[in-house]
Structure 1
Amino acid sequence: MSLIVSDRFRIVVGLGKSGMSLVRFLANRGVSFAVADTRENPPELATLRRDYPQVEVRCGELDVDFLCRADELYVSPGLALATPALQQAHARGVKLSGDIELFARYAKAPVIAITGSNAKSTVTTLVGEMAAAAGKRVAVGGNLGTPALDLLSDDVELYVMELSSFQLETTDQLNAEVATVLNISEDHMDRYSGLPAYHLAKHRIFRGARQVVVNRQDALSRPLIGEGLPCWTFGLNKPDFHGFGLREESGEKFLAFQFDNLMPVSELKVRGAHNQANALAALALGHAVGLPFDAMLASL
C-alpha cells in the first residue's frame, strides 16, 4: 500500500472528530487540502479556523464542482457514500476514501481490527487491557475514543482498533494482523438497503488480514474472503481444535482453549453469558498476536 502523494489535492468531507484528525494528519505532511461539511456549523469549525486559518472550508450543501477539484475525497463515516454529491464526484473520477484507509497505510505495528453489531467496544477495551498487562505499548481507538490517525506513532507496538461499518465502507485494504466480525444483526438499516449490504460492509475488515477470528455460533461472522487464512474461533459451546469456548467439569464452567481449562467462569469480574462471549473473543484475538495467557486472564 503506497503512502500519501503530497502533490495531489484532497478535500476532507465532514468536520467531526475523524475529520479534524484528517486535517491534522494532512497539514503535518504538507498536503494541499480543503474541507467541506453539509452542516452550517460543524463541531470542529472553530478549531479549524483557529489552528488552520489558511484552509478553505465550505459549509452547507455540498458543491459537486468544488468536490471535483480534488483528486481524492476523505469522507467522514457519518456521511453516507450514497450522498448524491459524492456519487456524482466519484462518477467524474474522484476517489472516495477515509481515515482508516490512511491509517492502514501508515501503521507500522500490527493491528487487531474488531467490528460487530454488538460488543465491539467492550472487546476492544478488553484486548487493549490484555496487551497493556502483557507489557505492550498499545494504542486503542478508532470508532472508540481516539481517532485512528491520532494514534499513529513509531513507539506503538500494537494497535487495537474498533471499526464501524461506516468506517469500513471507505477502507479498501486494512491489512490487519488479525480481524474479526464478532456478530451480525440488523443495525443501521436507515443507511443500508438491507442486511446483505450491511454484512458486506462489515466484512471489508478482512481485506488483507493475516489471521481471522470467527464466532462459531454466528455464521455471518465467517469471512467472505480470505479462505485458507489461519482461523481462531470462539463461542459459548465446547471449543474446537482452533478455538476458545466453555467446558463444564464437576458442575463448574470454565473458559477453555482447545482441550485446556483456563479459568472458572465464576472468577470473571463481570457476570452473564454475553460477558463470557466477550472474554472468549478477546482471548482469541490476543492469542492470535501472541499475548501470554497469564496476562490475558489477569485482565478478566
Structure 2
Amino acid sequence: MKDGFDLVIGLGLSGRSVIRYLTDQEMPVRALDTRDAPAGLDQLRADFPNLKIHTGGFKKGWLEKARRLIVSPGVAISTPAIAEQVVAGKEVIGDIELFARAASEPVVAITGSNAKSTVTTLLGQVAEACSMSPGIGGNLGVPALELLDDRARLYVLELSSFQLETTYSLSADVATILNVSQDHLDRYASFADYVAAKQRIYDGCQVAVWNRDDLATRPSVAVPRQISFGTHPESDYRLDGDNGLLLCRGEPLLRLDELALTGRHNAMNILAVMAMSDALGLNRDKALATVKAFTGLPHRCQMVAEAGGVRWFNDSKATNVGATLAALTGIGESIDGKVILVAGGQGKGQDFSPLAEPARQYLRAALLMGEDRQALAEGMSAAPCELVTDMAAAVARAHALAQPGDAVLLSPACASFDMYSGFAARGDDFTTRAREVCDG
C-alpha cells in the first residue's frame, strides 16, 4: 500500500466505527465531515486526541493525498469532490468492504426496500437458538466492523443500497433482496439505478434467496444456487393463503395461525427466514420454534393499543410506498372491519399511485399530514382522504371514526423529518396518543 493515510468521510455511526477499527489496526487515518458540528464530535476528539479532523466541507488537499477514501453510507459517491477521486483511480470503499476483507466466518447479507431489519433480527435469533453466536448488525444496530469477533460462527448483516455501492468483495454465503419498491429517488437518478445498487448483494454469493413475486429481486448475475419464496406456485418456499399454510417445496412448514405475527407481509418475511436458515443448514425444529414466537420489532406493524374492538398499529418505519402497501394489505386482509390510515411526511419524490387500489379496498379513511400530504391524497383519490395538521389531530379523528373490528394504522409512506427527529419519534408520538384515547 502506498504511503499516506486513509480518509474517513462522514462521522456518523459507521464512520466512527471505521475510525476505531483503523486505529486499532494502527493504520494512519484522518476524518472529515461536511457538517460544521456533527453529533458526537467532542466525544470523538476526546477518544482520539491525535486524530486530525476537518468539518464544514471537503478538504481538497486531504482528498488528493489520501491513499484511499472510506465513505459513509450517508454520503453519495457521486458527490463531485468524491467522484473526482474515483475518476483519478483512487480506491473508494465503505465500512462493509473493510468488514468483508476481515471476516473469516460465513456471512448472510440481507437487503430490500422493506422488512430487512425484521428479517435480519429474526434470522439472527434463529442462529442464536442454534448456538451459532452470530454477529448481527450492519445497517441495523451495531456497525459491521464492531461485530468482528473470534467467537462468532456466523454474521447476519442488514445492508442498505448505499452501503452496497461501496462494497466489492463481500461474496456472502447467503444473500437476499427481499423486495424492491420506489425509495431514495432523491439520491438515485432512476429506479433502475436503485435496483442495480441492491443487486450488488449477489456478487460472488453462493446462495441467492429471492422473492418470486418481485422479479426485481431475482439475481441479474449467475449464482451457484437460487432459492425462491413467495405466493407464486413455483416458489420453493410458498405462502398458501387459501389454506393458511407456509410450505417448503409442497410440504407444510407452519400454519399461519401458529405465528405470533399477523399479515401476509410478515408471512413473506418468515418464508425468507426459513429459506435462509435451511440454506445455512440450521436446525429446522429450532428455527420453527423461534419464528413462531417472534412478535416483531418496534415501529414495524407493532400493535400498541386496543380498546372497543379497535386495534392500533405503529408502522412508523414505513418510510416508502412499498412498506405502506405491505402493511395496508397485510392488515386489511386480516381484520373484519376497515383500516383508518395515518400517513404523510416527506415523500422523497415517490409515486403514490400504487396505494390507490388497496386504499379503495381496505380504507375507511386516510388521515394525511406533513409536507407531501396533498400529493399523497392525490395518489389515493379513490379513498376518503382528510388533511390534518398534526399527529394529535390525526389520532383524535381516527378515534372518532373507528368502529369495532377496525384497525388504525400509522404507516406514513414518507420520511418524518418535516415534523420529527426520525421515524422512532413519530411512532412514539402516535403510540402515546393512541394509548391515551384508548385509556379514555
Q: TM-score, normalised by structure 2?
A: 0.64
Map 1:93-172 → 2, pairs under 5 A = 93-172=89-168
State how many pairs are aligned: 291
One-letter amino acid of the structure 2 residue matched with residue 10 of structure 1: D
Counterpart in the other structure of 1:205: 201
Query: Out of 143, 162, 172, which is 1:176 matched to?
Result: 172
The answer to whether the Cα contact below 8 Å between 1:236 and 1:276 also exists between their aligned partners in 2 is: no
Q: Which has the larger radius of gyration?
A: 2
The answer to whether the Cα contact below 8 Å between 1:38 and 1:61 also exists between their aligned partners in 2 is: yes
Distance in 2 separating the partners of 1:36 and 1:247: 52
One-letter amino acid of the structure 1 residue matched with residue 68 of structure 2: E
Distance in 2 separating the partners of 1:60 and 1:93: 25
Distance in 2 separating the partners of 1:50 and 1:225: 46
Distance in 1 separating the partners of 2:239 and 2:162: 33
The answer to whether the Cα contact below 8 Å between 1:68 and 1:92 also exists between their aligned partners in 2 is: no
Q: 1:247 offset after TM fit, Å?
A: 3.6
Unaligned runs of 5+ in 2: 292-440
Distance in 2 separating the partners of 1:221 and 1:176: 16
Counterpart in the other structure of 1:273: 264
| SS of aligned partner of 1:233 | strand
The answer to whether the Cα contact below 8 Å between 2:114 and 2:178 also exists between their aligned partners in 1 is: yes
When residues 156 and 8 of structure 1 are mapped into structure 2, their CA distance, relative to the original with a 3 A threshold, is farther
One-letter amino acid of the structure 1 residue matched with residue 188 of structure 2: Y
Counterpart in the other structure of 1:245: 238
Distance in 2 separating the partners of 1:292 and 1:28: 36
Q: TM-score, normalised by structure 1?
A: 0.94
Unaligned runs of 5+ in 1: none
Counterpart in the other structure of 1:285: 276
Q: 1:6 offset after TM fit, Å?
A: 9.1
Query: Out of 31, 34, 37, which is 1:41 matched to?
Result: 37
Map 1:4-23 → 2, pairs under 5 A = 8-23=4-19
**C-alpha RMSD of the superposition:** 1.4
Distance in 2 separating the partners of 1:284 and 1:64: 47
Counterpart in the other structure of 1:232: 227
Identity %: 45
Counterpart in the other structure of 1:299: 290
The superposition leaves residues 31-74 of structure 1 with CA deviations (integer Å, 9 ceiling, x where unpaired) of: 00100100111123122210111110000110222211101000
Distance in 1 separating the partners of 2:265 and 2:48: 45
Distance in 1 separating the partners of 2:169 and 2:206: 12
The answer to whether the Cα contact below 8 Å between 2:138 and 2:157 also exists between their aligned partners in 1 is: yes
Distance in 2 separating the partners of 1:256 and 1:90: 47
Counterpart in the other structure of 1:264: 255
Query: Which has the higher relative contact order, 1 or 2, with Cα contacts under 8 A spaced 6 or more apart?
Result: 1
Distance in 2 separating the partners of 1:93 and 1:161: 29
| SS of aligned partner of 2:275 | helix
The superposition leaves residues 162-205 of structure 1 with CA deviations (integer Å, 9 ceiling, x where unpaired) of: 00000000001211001011111110000000111001101111
| SS of aligned partner of 1:232 | strand
